[in-house]
Amino acid sequence: MERTRRRRGLLTAVVVAVVGVLLLVHPWLPGLPGNPMSLAETFLPWLGLAVPVGLVVAALRRSALAAVVCVVVGTVWLGVFREPVVSPSPGAPRAYDLTVVQHNVSDENTSPSRVARILLGPDPDIVALQELTPANLPAFQVVLAPTHPHHATVGTVGLWSKFPLTDIARVDLKPAEVAPGWERGLRAVVRGPHGPVTAYVAHLPSVRVRATQGYATAWRDESAERLGRALTADRSSAVLVLGDLNGTVDDRGLAPVLSQVRGNRDSFAFSWPASLPLARIDHVLARGDAEVGTTWTLPDTGSDHLPVAARIRR
């Protein structure tokens, strides 16, 4: 009887303990075929759901062991994600120099004018867009041009600014296996009132879960390496990366980029999918004399992504 009592909730305790270990050491765990670690890192905050579920099971099984493990792992989760949990709300006033908006507008969106008006809501200084098409580009230009007269596009990505743009250039992010004509990288220098900022607009390839490959990230990872090399070679004093990177800041596949720039984690600001946001794969990242402050999402635009806005300190 004593042995049976001890075993109550043992499986629950083990599962929750594994979650706690993943939260702490995932960056150092080796990659495996099918990229399961990259997939887990995409939804890392949601692993914490194991704690309340485990507590319910512990109560039903009357397992002190499972309850203690859940409390410990819950404490670990709060430690890992303390910034978005304890930080002020996105609306709290903070000093900033620029406001930027980043959005994958969706090439299937039928209301580009409405999208553009939503993006102007926080009065951004810079707007970066992905999935521009010949059909929707004119509508964005009409709505954004009066307040953001400086504009550049390369392929399906674009940048609108209140301030002059110089040194506009294409950034080659195309994976080797992708056919020519795939253009999703742009670099431009924004001549703002607090000094120049070099802005990169990027749209990395999508990722998919496939039965034969697992979490298929090869093209995304190759594109991230190309962006990382471009950032490494850039000697600008202030750099911004604005884009749909199809990965979160915890995803090891984005390491070549995240070794060069960083974002702000004072809110989760989940941006995808728009109908039930589970992960922030749309990013505003910075380095050098530019620092990302408060980050938040804007209302649904009809895209499968939510827009992400951020304050930038220079």
Each residue of 70-104: pLDDT tens digit?
999 999 999 999 999 886 555 445 678 999 999 99
**Reduced to 3 states, what is the DSSP secondary structure of residue 140?**
helix
Our CA dihedral for 94, 247, 107, 178, rounded to 10 degrees, sits at 140
Residues 162, 246 within the same domain: yes
| 273 assigned to some structural domain | yes
For residue 58, what are the contacts with CB-CB under 8 A and spacing of at least 6? 9, 12, 64, 65, 66, 67, 70
Residues 51, 186 within the same domain: no
* Residue 312, pLDDT above cutoff 90: yes
CA distance 203 to 194: 27
Global pTM value:
0.93
Q: What are phi and psi of 98, to 5 degrees?
A: -140, 150
Residues 66, 153 within the same domain: no
- Among the three residues 19, 52, 80, which one is the final residue of a domain in this structure? 80
Q: What is the pLDDT of residue 2?
A: 47
Residues 127, 192 within the same domain: yes
Give the pLDDT mean for 107-134: 97
State the residue range of the domain holding 51: 2-80
Domain count, the chain: 2
- Among the three residues 52, 80, 108, which one is the final residue of a domain in this structure? 80
| 76 assigned to some structural domain | yes
| 92 assigned to some structural domain | no
Residues 33, 161 within the same domain: no
Residues 164, 276 within the same domain: yes
Phi-psi group of 127: left, alpha or beta (phi > 0 → left; psi -120 to 50 → alpha; rest → beta): beta
Residues 157, 297 within the same domain: yes
| 286 assigned to some structural domain | yes
